[in-house]
Structure 1
């Protein structure tokens, strides 16, 4: 398995992976991914098994301390010199789940953010995943203000 940063050539693959990982109301669109890949490809990490893309993590960098819904669809809000690495999604193909793929990606993203001198990382997740992200050092800050996909999200933060 190899982790690399994404390019526009990955667009169809990541849009497909997203579509099998999230319900339609929560999934990012190919158009949104295209903007993200244009504005911050170095904050879009792909896990490959040979030539097959099996998962990814992506998100912008910003000085905003909290993840806001507008960030998902407005890649122009990215600030390469920002303090916080946002995580918009942790996607793993179903056939590769429970094999450490998401963990490998997250540890890589955390280390990258640390090496870049960020204050830390912020993500939102459903209640069932609070324990999972907690094992990486993320702290639950409670229910977020997000209305993304009309579900309840919890904001979690890992501060260096």
Structure 2
């Protein structure tokens, strides 16, 4: 089992996050490297990465294997606005824009361990509420981490059907 350490991301990590993002999603759903760089400049506090800490053989210690990108906002539901570069209402919610695990390392509980540690990292820094949009096959995954289904999302990313989920008060 790959041991991980979840930490805040650094600017230098954005290229690796973009690489994982590109491999994890269909092209029409990918956050581009340019958009991720813009996000990091605008809200670096919303980036967390999981880096290998040893014990996995398949990856070297220090290699980023998963990431979460969140946008601070007052919006409790996910809309296309979350993914745009315009200013959003300030608030107490982190909208999860992407949560990714290196595709070749999926199905090894990295997602389970990363999301738990990333949410805890953000909570320690005062974040109380989280929202996200996911496809139906991920509803149970996020539900195991306390997210509640809020219904069909207004998100129109890639033409897919998305579901909003919420964690918090």
Scaled by the length of structure 2, what TM-score is found?
Answer: 0.86
- The verdict on how the C-alpha distance between 1:63 and 1:55 changes in structure 2, with shifts beyond 3 A counting, is same
Query: How far is the alpha carbon of 1:93 from its aligned partner?
Result: 0.8
Give the conservation status (yes or no) of the 8 Å contact 1:87–1:122: yes
What are the ranges of 5 or more consecutive residues in structure 2 without an aligned counterpart?
53-60
Name the counterpart of 2:112.
103
The structure 2 residue matched to 1:63, chosen from 74, 95, 107, is 74
Which protein is bigger by CA-based radius of gyration?
Answer: 2
How far apart, CA to CA, are the structure 1 residues paired with 2:150 and 2:76? 12
Query: How far is the alpha carbon of 1:37 from its aligned partner?
Result: 1.1
How far apart, CA to CA, are the structure 1 residues paired with 2:89 and 2:110? 26
How far apart, CA to CA, are the structure 1 residues paired with 2:18 and 2:122? 24
1:10 aligns with 2:13: yes
How far apart, CA to CA, are the structure 2 residues paired with 1:133 and 1:125? 9
1:112 aligns with 2:115: no
How many positions carry a matched residue from both structures? Answer: 158
The structure 1 residue matched to 2:23, chosen from 20, 25, 28, is 20
Name the counterpart of 2:62.
51
Give the RMSD, CA atoms, in angstroms.
1.7
Query: How far is the alpha carbon of 1:110 from its aligned partner?
Result: 2.1
Name the counterpart of 1:122.
131
What are the ranges of 5 or more consecutive residues in structure 1 without an aligned counterpart?
none
Runs of 4 or more, structure 1, over 2 Å off, are: 75-79, 112-119
How far apart, CA to CA, are the structure 1 residues paired with 2:14 and 2:89? 19
Scaled by the length of structure 1, what TM-score is found?
Answer: 0.90
How far apart, CA to CA, are the structure 2 residues paired with 1:69 and 1:41? 20
